Structure 1
């Protein structure tokens, strides 16, 4: 396998300053679960930023709110997985996502008396209680580890570190790569140290292609794991073709293909041999079922077959 591009990327870009601390947290989390029979999943979520300066003022962002990753992490926990959630800082997180835009404060009210306190408003208990119970079960059971990143370089260094820790799980490991990863970046050696000023006239950028890390991940880092990538397109006519091309190039197990405008109720599970639709029914849409629940149910079954 040609390794020059991805090896060069890691050699020429500085790792995040806290990568060792985060690597240790991931390693300790994995060690806690390695001796059990439970399955483990790495869920990546949110977008990656590409700084234009080392002391970053300006950047290019590959935006993602993190909806699919954060909701999927909850369903993996419900299915019995230990979950490493590698997420973009300030994107949605499991459980917290239910109370966006200060929504949790709307559910609380102060209590008065000798010992002032806080309580959940009676009309909000049915919404807050199940989320709180699921969160406490995950945290008290030590089955959820949240690991934040910001930049593309942060993400790729942490992805490599997490993969190294997951390799020991063999077929028990699942990688659910839902992060929106930039295709282009500026190498550290080509980046100015300080803020780019406008008095120099129009700004011209020369962006490099980001090496495709799926290749070393599948072939070298976690060769026995069940690896799932995502393909998002705005043109449904090329979705299957692009998904199959990725499977041919990287040899992983599955691509979950989605089209921009239908992704919340329709996806395709694509393998080299076949493709199968996963759709929310009208009844499921009416009661607010999330398609990630169906995705994780189906993936859990496929992962079990992979382990057999």
Structure 2
């Protein structure tokens, strides 16, 4: 299977690729959620989480995927809720979710938290209880979970394909525009860089009897620029950059900030991401004296200067002998605390 590559702008992508069938329903629910949080004066963060698939057929049997289980997004959502934000949690279907994530891993399965008590009388149905040494942890999570749902500060959306993700991101960000500077975008999902347009897909399962498979995929359009400039002007936008070569991490993060003009890139090295990240942002340009115009040359000089960017490394200690169950420290706690501080400062200092 061989096709010629095509370059899609964001506008061309949405004009040629069909929206998911549930989009309108999802948008209506998001609108209700955002309007309620806006009336209550809350900050709202969109957390994207998990990986996207790239289908190879219209009747999907085969698809490309990535390794993301949604750990960073699900964990961060909990800490944003704890900080008083309302959260729109847009996640890959069946990936980890806030609160239930504590019992989804094979080392901490939910059924191990439960006991079957002997029936009180002959013929009675046995009762289920929580294992005594697990009750404190479960009570802690359940208490926060119930509080969040009572307040109505968590709204979840699901995607599977990169097409689902792009359509949802545009729709949700447009609904969040009414929040202006109280909106944050925490784009932690592992989004595919390449996709196969619907027009180039095989209708039915690709047959293995045809021999080797050759697929020419197209690049997924860069959506950070329209997100910043058009969909939700005024939002505080945080993107992530994952690299396996540490020498590329800072240059790629700075390149993204220059290209898209958002607020923060959080860089992570694949093998160190659970205990070390770097916040990369642009330093504010100093105000010029009255009557002095900022020439194009001055702007170019400022953007090219080696000190135009700030780097803030965040690290946590890894215990030598990890204990089963809940980790003692999660780096997402510090990531979210730093972003909440920066967001508040940004709101206060921006006219």
The TM-score range, normalised by the shorter chain, is over 0.9
Q: CA deviation at 1:288?
A: 2.1
The alignment yields a C-alpha RMSD, in angstroms, of 1.6
Paired residue for 1:297, among 333, 337, 347?
Answer: 337
SS in 2 for 1:192: coil
Deviations 1:219-243 (A, max 9, x none): 1111101000000111111111000
Deviations 1:45-85 (A, max 9, x none): 00000000011000011330111000000000000000000
Q: Are 1:216 and 2:226 an aligned pair?
A: yes
State TM-score, norm by structure 2.
0.84
SS in 2 for 1:26: helix
SS in 1 for 2:51: coil
Distance 1:13 1:110 in 2: 51
Partner of 1:108: 114
Contact 2:279 2:312 in 1 (8 A): yes
Report the structure number with the largest CA radius of gyration. Answer: 2
Distance 1:283 1:202 in 2: 47
Stretches of structure 1 that go unaligned for 5 or more consecutive residues are none
Of 257-266 and 105-114, more deviation after overlay is shown by 105-114
Partner of 2:346: 306
Stretches of structure 2 that go unaligned for 5 or more consecutive residues are 1-7, 283-308
Distance 2:158 2:255 in 1: 30
Paired residue for 1:75, among 79, 90, 94?
Answer: 79
Distance 1:15 1:217 in 2: 18
The 4+ residue runs of structure 1 with deviation greater than 6 A are 283-287
Q: Are 1:37 and 2:32 an aligned pair?
A: no
Distance 1:176 1:98 in 2: 21
Q: CA deviation at 1:117?
A: 3.1
Distance 2:320 2:36 in 1: 37
Partner of 2:311: 275
Paired residue for 1:148, among 155, 158, 162?
Answer: 158
Q: Are 1:60 and 2:64 an aligned pair?
A: yes
SS in 2 for 1:174: strand
Distance 1:82 1:216 in 2: 24
Deviations 1:267-293 (A, max 9, x none): 001012211111114679977210000
C-alpha spacing 1:51/1:118, structure 2 compared with 1 (3 Å)? same
Count of residue correspondences: 305
C-alpha spacing 1:28/1:116, structure 2 compared with 1 (3 Å)? farther
State TM-score, norm by structure 1.
0.95
Q: Are 1:288 and 2:328 an aligned pair?
A: yes
Distance 2:341 2:320 in 1: 21
SS in 1 for 2:12: helix
SS in 2 for 1:86: strand
C-alpha spacing 1:284/1:271, structure 2 compared with 1 (3 Å)? farther
Q: Are 1:7 and 2:11 an aligned pair?
A: yes
Paired residue for 2:271, among 261, 264, 271?
Answer: 261
Distance 1:282 1:239 in 2: 22
The 5-angstrom pairing of residues 90-169 of structure 1 reads: 90-100=94-104, 101=106, 103-111=109-117, 112-113=119-120, 114=124, 116-169=126-179
Q: CA deviation at 1:7?
A: 1.0
C-alpha spacing 1:284/1:168, structure 2 compared with 1 (3 Å)? farther
Distance 2:162 2:199 in 1: 15
Q: Are 1:206 and 2:216 an aligned pair?
A: yes
Of 105-114 and 130-139, more deviation after overlay is shown by 105-114
Of 195-204 and 208-217, more deviation after overlay is shown by 195-204
Of 239-248 and 31-40, more deviation after overlay is shown by 31-40
Contact 1:48 1:63 in 2 (8 A): no
SS in 1 for 2:9: helix
